[in-house]
Amino acid sequence: MDVADGTTPNRTRYRAIKAHRKSRAGCFTCKGRRIKCCETRPRCVNCSRGNLHCVYPETRPTTISVQPGGVQYQSRGFSLKDMRFFHDFMTASYPHLPLECDHAWTNDIPLLAQQVRHSSSQARLSRELTVSLGAAHLHRNTDLELKGTVEQHRAMALCGLVEPQSDLCTHGTGREGRLNAQLATAYALNFTASYMGDTMSSFLTFVRGCASLSREIIFSGYSSPFFPQDGHTMLPEHHTQIMTRRLQGARLAPFPDNDEIQKAKRSLSYAARVCTFTPVEVEMLVELQNVLDKNTEPIKAT
């Protein structure tokens, strides 16, 4: 019938589907009766009213297994700010020591730093040393206040430098790569300390670290991109030969302030009065005096 006949047409009514209201952790009795359990313990309301036996399923507590040991080093990728420091490292602030190792600093270390294998300890070390050194150089030569950033990345590099070695890094190529990464980090931390104006003791500590790691690589029979010549040796004579070749025929201007040289000589004479003249002290005095006397002829002062 239509509306004109005065009758109301049949309308299709849709019943909304109700959400599930039954308990998922209720007692077995309520589950069997297909009613909602209020989950009160030790006996729910439904079982209490009907004087029924109320038994809940056994619940297993969620446990989190914690591996023994300290907090692990969490690696991360480069941020936009880190990329600026990395660019400064590549173009201006990479170490100039060891001599004739520019290719290692601008190719080998950056490639290692950008490895996607963040679990690689060598990659972590390389990443932190490049960022910390670039930030330190910008902090020293610009108006940017980056001391906090430098200290953060330097601390991460130090943690990676002294962290225990895994089984893969105790022998073979794993150990060789680890030692070379540590050597690069020691050199970078040395230059970072210089840029940040750290104490002489910090500078000498990293110098000794560089020497110790270099000896370890040589005595282990490994090669290093930071060693001149054949990559297996690093001797003072090699540096002398390189600098002699670089300065051969160069016209060196005299020291701009001769008064500073004279002050240094007087200070050295005062130091000679208080030393005990052990073999080490005598050698240091002779070498320092030689450098001061030959300030216009650096090759002869070596």
pLDDT at 12: 57
Q: Is residue 173 located within the same domain as residue 34?
A: no
What does the pLDDT read at residue 58?
A: 73
Same domain, 208 and 122: yes
Domain count along the chain: 3
CATH assignment of the domain containing 46: 4.10.240.10
* pLDDT one-digit tens code per residue, 209-253: 888 888 888 888 787 777 766 555 666 677 777 777 777 766 666
In a domain, 69, yes or no: no
Could you tell me if residue 131 is inside a domain? yes
41 shares its domain with 106: no
Looking at the structure, tell me whether residues 41 and 115 fall in a common domain.
Answer: no
Q: Do 181 and 117 share a domain, yes or no?
A: yes
Same domain, 262 and 204: no
What is the model's pLDDT at position 76?
52
Q: Which residues contact 192 (CB under 8 A, 6 or more apart)?
A: 132, 133, 136, 150, 154
Pick out the chain residues at pLDDT < 70.
1-24, 59-78, 112-124, 160-173, 228-236, 249-257, 294-302
Q: Can you tell me the distance from the alpha carbon of 185 to that of 187, in angstroms, rounded to the nearest whole number?
A: 5
300 in a domain, yes or no?
no
What are the structure tokens assigned to 12, written together? 């299709």
Same domain as 205, residue 99: yes
Nearest to 112 by CA among 101, 123, 100, 102: 123
Q: What is the pLDDT of residue 11?
A: 55
Same domain, 155 and 189: yes
Please report whether residue 160 resides in a domain.
yes
92 shares its domain with 173? yes
What torsion do the CA atoms of 192, 220, 230, 179 make, to the nearest 10 degrees? -30
Residue 10 counted as domain residue: no
Helix axes 147-162, 172-195, angle to 10 degrees: 150
Q: Are 49 and 161 contained in the same domain? A: no
CB neighbourhood size of 164 (10 A): 8
Dihedral sign, CA of 282, 286, 288, 292? positive
Assess whether 92 and 175 both reside in one domain. yes
Instruction: Tell me if 165 is assigned to some domain.
Output: yes
pLDDT value, residue 22: 54
Residue 50's domain spans which residues? 23-56
Residue 190 placed within a domain: yes
65 in a domain, yes or no? no
Q: What is the 3-state secondary structure (H, E, C) of 98-167?
A: CCCCHHHHHHHHHHHHCCCCCCCHHHHHHHHHHHHHHHHHHHHHCCCCCHHHHHHHHHHHHHHHHCCCCH
